[in-house]
A and B are shown apart, each in its own frame.
Chain A
Amino acid sequence: MLKIKNEISEILENCDIDSLIRRMQAFTISKLGYNKKNYDGLEPLDFVFGVFEKALTGVRNWDKSKIDFDEFVFGSLKSDIYAAIEKKRRRTEVKDKEEIDESYILDIHVISNEVGFEDTTTQKIDYNTEKKNFLDKLKDAEATDIEILIFECWCDEIFKPQEIADFLELDVATIYNALKRLQKRRKTILQN
């Protein structure tokens, strides 16, 4: 029987697991694609089930004071996506740039002992310079106005989809479609 940790057990009573799984699945596919070979032959959904179960059993520590349960599960998911990419990289020497978002390695928040771990060891690069550089690259890659505006919202720490949609006076679905294009464009930029 699955040994669910006590503090998680309380949360699960009122958790919409079905929706959370769908959110995890969409995130996973945006990072690893839809090809089974990127999931050790599993369906992406089975990969997500495995991550979810692992998160429940306390393989990773959840600091309730820092992040909520959904964020904790997503932290575990990111870590497992990173591990899947690393595993594939070790197994196949040839990079399959078409299907794997290897650029994700560059920005993944690797979980150390607990989700919420803050890595302060990396060298700080001037934020504004880096922002300007990336903005230039986006423009060079012919990003649309909406994609650029989403990026600028993130830089100004506007993160919630609805807030971005309200700010840009567009519907959320339009913003989400632009986000998916932005993710792909960013992948290409980071790979070049």
Chain B
Amino acid sequence: MDKLKQNIDKGITEFYLNLDIDIIKKSLEEDGVDVLNEDEKISKFSKRIKFMNNAIIAKEKTDNLLDLIANKFREAIDKNIDKPIASLKKLIEDKELSVQFRNLDKLTEDEIKEIIKGKNLVDLMDELDKEID
């Protein structure tokens, strides 16, 4: 795109991006848009987007916490720290998991995550911090 067309395109775009929103709405009304009715439709749309976005952020936080806790348990197993190991064994028993989970040394990170899934991760993290540090 040559410079003149680029400048015109930028000029037009800047207007729509920066103009006072009330002026934009008034102009839409003049174009025949039922702004009042559409406000509700837009509000529902943006709420849906924000809701999905919050769900994604929450999932990301949970995933990060799961990673952290799994690493802490791994560290505890490697260093043979009694309390967290006992807690992990208790979780395995409570969940009645298969024999593959009984040999702690061979537990993978994903298996540890499977064991702790469904637990209050924040409380678990607090406990581990106290037990390991």
| Chain A residues engaging chain B, CB cutoff 8 angstroms | 1-2, 4, 6, 9, 12-13, 17-19, 21-27, 29-30, 34, 44-45, 49, 52-53, 56, 70-71, 74, 78, 106-109, 119, 122-125, 127, 130-131, 134, 150-151, 153-155, 157, 159-162, 172-173, 176-177, 179-180, 183, 186
**How extensive is the interface on chain B, given as a class?**
35 or more
Q: Which residues of B contact A71 (CB under 8 A)?
A: 13, 17
Distance, CA A71 to CA B13, complexed state (A): 8
Which residues between 1 and 20 of chain B lie within 8 Å of chain A, taking CB atoms?
A: 1-20
Report whether A56 and B49 are in contact in the complex, using a CB–CB cutoff of 8 Å. Answer: yes
Q: Which residue of A lies closest to B27 (CB)?
A: A26
**Closest beta carbon of chain A to B18's beta carbon, Å:** 5
Contact A179 B12 (CB under 8 A): yes
With A23-B17, A159-B14 already in contact, the answer to whether A12 and B27 are too (CB < 8 A) is no
Does B102 lie at the interface of the complex (its beta carbon under 8 Å from any beta carbon of A)? no
Give complex CA distance A2, B42 in Å: 17
Majority DSSP secondary structure for residues of A touching B: helix
CB-CB under 8 A from A49, the residues of chain B are 45
Is B50 located at the chain interface by the 8 A CB criterion?
yes
Q: How far is A127 from B8 in the complex, measured between Cα atoms in Å? A: 12
Pair B60/A6 contact, Cβ less than 8 Å: yes
Given contacts A4-B52, A9-B56, A172-B20, contact A155 B25 (CB under 8 A): no
Would you call B43 an interface residue if the criterion is a C-beta within 8 Å of the partner chain's C-beta atoms? yes
User: What are 13 A-B interface contacts by the 8 Å CB criterion?
Assistant: A12-B50, A21-B42, A22-B21, A22-B42, A26-B16, A26-B24, A27-B13, A74-B17, A107-B5, A125-B2, A154-B11, A159-B14, A172-B20
Task: Point out which of A22, A30, A53, A183 has the most chain B C-beta atoms below 10 A from its C-beta.
Answer: A22
| Assembled-state Cα–Cα distance A173/B27 (Å) | 9
Q: Taking the nearest CB of chain B, how far is it from the CB of A5, in angstroms? A: 9
What residues of chain B have their CB less than 8 Å away from a CB belonging to chain A? 1-21, 23-28, 31-33, 38-39, 41-43, 45-46, 49-50, 52-53, 55-57, 60
Q: Is the CB of A153 within 8 A of B11?
A: yes
Check B45–A19 contact: CB distance below 8 A.
Answer: no
Once the chains bind, are A179 and B4 in contact (CB under 8 Å)?
Answer: no
A18-B7 contact in complex given A9-B53, A25-B33, A160-B18, C-beta closer than 8 Å: no
Enumerate chain A residues within 8 angstroms of B6, measured Cβ to Cβ. 109
Residues of B within 8 A of A127 (CB): 2-4
CA distance A95 to B115 in the complex (A): 64
Do the beta carbons of B17 and A4 come within 8 Å of each other?
Answer: no
Across the interface, which residues of A come within 8 angstroms of B46, CB to CB? Answer: 17-18, 21
B8 CB contacts on chain A under 8 angstroms = 107, 151, 154, 186
Complex CA–CA separation, A1 to B53 (angstroms): 10
